[in-house]
Amino acid sequence: MYYVYIIQSIHHQSQIYVGFTKNLKKRLSDHNSGTTVHTEKYKPWKLVVSIGFEDWLKAKEFEEYLKSGSGRAFREKRLFSISNNAGEP
């Protein structure tokens, strides 16, 4: 199984990251241990969305879509809205 995921910084809740992995538990651990350059500044992170795919290509394409302009709009409307969740601990 391949996962597309969204994580949110616990202390900087306006910061989110969209990623792709085969091992979700290890990848979240990597983000929180600071071994991922793009996310180390805003650690710790919490998982807010994960979607599993059997097909590698479909997962990769969905990750890329979520990072695009229209994908960001979809993400905000259908998956995870920072403005609706920023006040939660």
Checking 56-61 for CB contacts under 8 A at 24+ apart, the result is: 56/2, 59/2, 59/3, 59/4, 59/20, 60/2, 60/20
Domains and CATH numbers, the chain: 2-85 (3.40.1440)
> pLDDT tens for residues 8-55?
999 999 999 999 999 999 999 999 999 989 999 999 999 999 999 999
Q: What are phi and psi of 31, to 5 degrees?
A: -60, -40
Name the CA dihedral angle for 83, 79, 2, 54, rounded to a multiple of 10 degrees: 180
**Can you tell me the mean pLDDT for 44-72?**
97
Single out the residue of 63, 25, 59, 75 nearest to residue 45, CA to CA: 25
